[in-house]
Amino acid sequence: MTDTMTPEQRHRCMSHIKGKGTKPELLVRRWLWGHGYRYRLNVKSVPGKPDIVMRPYRTAIFVNGCFWHGHNVKMRECGNALMHESSEPRSGNNLQDLQDLASTKYEQEHKKIDLLSSKCCKIPSSNREFWLAKIMRNQERDERNYRLLRENGWQVIVVWECQLKPAARLERTLREVELLLNNNLLSMYKHTPIPYTADEEDEAPLMAAEGAETAIA
């Protein structure tokens, strides 16, 4: 990835993207609204300030930008890879050894990039450490928020920016969100059997008789 922006320019550009009511979030909101779902936005009283709050479903929806939230980027692994990378030269100093060393370093370098970037979260090559630290902090904060919500009985749905394009994928993704929502709603109204009282047993002799028959058989 060629990077022609200065860190400041990039920062300004990225901060702009990060703001509330960003496009992916709008796409999700518009779809939900169009399908008759109602919601609230950025409710401060709900842990982690989810983008979309649907209280009747006790569901919090986060619409995450792939870059900012490091979609498919596993930071812990990348930390190890960086730690394991050795810059020590090997014993020999003939040309073949040097070539081997160079190709190993090249491979390591590329493996490192693969590990740190994903299709939809390409970490800029300049100012890399800054972005890595930032994305890692965001990932950790996300995990904390999701955990806190779940501990408080909320269901968490995360929609990624890349799951919203093209239009057919958006439709598929939001149909899945709809299924999850309805599942969450159903799970709140799970049938809990109510034990019979003595009075009810008196009023339902047929059922009692059926029970007795089974017991004899």
Q: Please report, as ranges, the residues that interact with Zn ion according to CB under 5 A.
A: 66, 71, 120, 160, 162
Min dist CB 44 to Zn ion, Å, is 27
Task: For residue 93, report the phi and psi dihedrals to the nearest 5 degrees.
Answer: -135, 25
For residue 61, give both structure tokens: 């929806």
Taking the complex as a whole, how short is the minimal distance between the CB of residue 163 and Zn ion, in angstroms? Answer: 7
3-state secondary structure at position 74: coil
- CA 79/CA 121 separation, integer angstroms: 17
**Which is closer to Zn ion, CB of 81 or CB of 158?**
158
Contact 64, 173 (CB under 8 A): no
Shortest reach from residue 64's CB to Zn ion, in Å: 8
> First CA to last CA across the chain, in angstroms?
77
Phi, psi of 48 (to 5 degrees): 80, 5
Beta bridge partners of 158: 62
Question: Considering the complex, what minimum distance in angstroms separates the CB of residue 68 from Zn ion?
Answer: 11
Structure tokens given for 77: 């692994």
**β-pair type (52-54, 40-41):** antiparallel
β-bridge pairing 59-64 and 155-160 = parallel
Q: Name the residue nearer to Zn ion (CB basis): 31 or 161.
A: 161
Shortest Å distance, C-beta 34 to Zn ion: 23
**Cβ nearer to Zn ion, comparing 113 with 120:** 120
Residue 172's H or E segment, with its range, is helix 167-188
Q: Which is nearer to Zn ion, 66 or 157 (CB)?
A: 66
Cβ proximity to Zn ion: between 62 and 160 the closer is 160
Residue partners of 58: CB distance under 8 A and separation at least 6: 153, 154, 155, 184, 188
Nearer to Zn ion, 29 or 71 (CB): 71
Give the shortest CB-6-to-Zn ion separation in angstroms.
26
